[in-house]
Amino acid sequence: MSTTEEKLYRQAYALSLFTIFYNVAEGIISMLMGYEDETLTLFGFGVDSFIEVMSGIGIAVMILRIRQNPDSPKSNFEIKALKITGTAFYMLSVGLLVGIITNLINHHKPETTLWGVIISVVSIVVMVWLMNAKKKVGRGLNSAAIIADSNCTKVCVYMSLVLLASSLIYEFTGFAYADVIGTAGLIYFSISEGKEAFEKAKGKACACDKC
């Protein structure tokens, strides 16, 4: 392996670790503020961040594997991580749906969605940077796996945009169903990510690989 390739693999691994630690911090803050402000979308966004941590661990292991042998198949750990991640996304979708129904029955509205605006803006900036950084490294290594991971980061950007839109709408208009609509958006993307995780576990190409 050349010095350049070694450097790029170190960068790829460092980016995977950054993804894990960033999502831990984002998850804690989002869940705490979502609970305090009674914002279901922000709370669900925080739970999603912790699921992304599980996914990130699998990616870190994948990078270590392809660093040794780029053509090696997925390890049992990676496959199990993908299945656990997919199951967690489906469970999140069910939990958020129950939350939507409960909030509609109780005519519940958030106290404020200001934190949703702040967290989503930070997340968009970080995820766009992360996506581009991973893609650059992936292209440098000519690694389809790393490029696919960078493309799948787009889903995190989309979820952040959903949080931002619903938070801004409620903060400026007080529209009662803004939080519910935002949560429905998270459910859509959670189901999509769950499906893709199981497809990856089976060795199938995912939609995000073609982005």
CA nearest neighbour of 149 among 141, 27, 1: 141
pTM of the full structure:
0.91
- In terms of Cβ atoms closer than 10 Å to its own Cβ (0-12, 13-18, 19+), residue 128 is middle
Compute the distance between CA of residue 85 and CA of residue 81 in angstroms, rounded to an integer: 6
Tens digits of residue pLDDT in 153-169: 889 999 999 999 999 99
Q: What is the predicted pLDDT for the residue at 135?
A: 94
Domain boundaries, the chain: 3-202
Tokens at residue 82, please?
């993908």
Compute the distance between CA of residue 57 and CA of residue 50 in angstroms, rounded to an integer: 11
Tens digits of residue pLDDT in 8-30: 999 999 999 999 999 999 999 99
